[in-house]
Amino acid sequence: MSDHRHRFLQLALTADALRFGQFTLKSGRLSPYFFNAGRFDSGARMSQLAACYADAVEATGLKFDVVFGPAYKGIPLATATACEFAQRGRDLPLSFNRKEAKDHGEGGNLIGADMNGKRVLIVDDVITAGTAIREALAIIKGAGGTPAGIVVALDRQEIASETDRRSAAQAVAEEAGIPVVAVATLADLLDFASGNPELVGYRQPLEDYRSRYGSRPTR
């Protein structure tokens, strides 16, 4: 497992952003684990998380000019990631959106750098149904930008529905024609649980969940 993947999963576990047990998801599925990026709730945790995001992006060689954070969770994630890239010597423009357009002051629903003619990296926590990401793609294109890729913390690698064996990340990647980069995946989580004596008991429930809801392998 890549170092950034292990660091991220350990950080998530320490921050209580990654929990094991029985959790009912919005989809109604009963999951043996739950991920909540809102638990990265301190400056130190966000800084460490941003380093994992930056490492994951750099490992792909993805080319981009602007960092974009979809409201709401994507805003602090994109901001922290842009700060991490600046620490590494690359000061990138940063942009994000409002949920509702502002009708006074500067107006509009975009804040930050101009995306016109730029390649844009979207930074978010997860892709669940893909609705928020599709909205972000439309916003970027509407501003004259070109979506270059998407980076998320965790890819659950599970089917969108019984009739669509793709994961939400796979569906978005195929529809938009851009890569979706995950700091870690369910497969990484299984490896991580196997190597952690405190978590090894959760490996079988994770395997069972993947057997039932796992998405088709990426070609």
Annotated binding site for 5-phospho-alpha-D-ribose 1-diphosphate: 26, 72-73, 98-99, 102, 104, 124-132
Q: Which one of the listed residues 6, 63, 102, 118 is annotated catalytic?
A: 102
Torsion sign across C-alpha atoms 59, 65, 69, 70:
negative
Query: Which parts are annotated binding residues?
Result: 26, 34-35, 72-73, 98-99, 102, 104, 124-132, 156
Q: What is the largest CA-CA distance in the chain?
A: 56
DSSP annotation of 37 reads G
Integer Cα distance of 84 and 78 in angstroms? 10
Annotated catalytic residue 4: no
53 contacts 77 by C-beta, under 8 angstroms: yes
Integer Cα distance of 176 and 164 in angstroms? 17
Q: At 60, list the tokens.
A: 């792909």
As a residue count, the chain comes to: 219
Contacts with 102 (C-beta within 8 Å, 6 or more apart), sequence order: 108, 109
157 contacts 210 by C-beta, under 8 angstroms: yes
SS3 80: helix
Q: Which one of the listed residues 4, 104, 118, 141 is annotated catalytic?
A: 104
Helical segments of the chain, H only = 3-14, 43-60, 74-87, 131-142, 168-176, 186-194, 203-213
Annotated catalytic residue 141: no
Q: Which residue numbers are catalytic? A: 102, 104
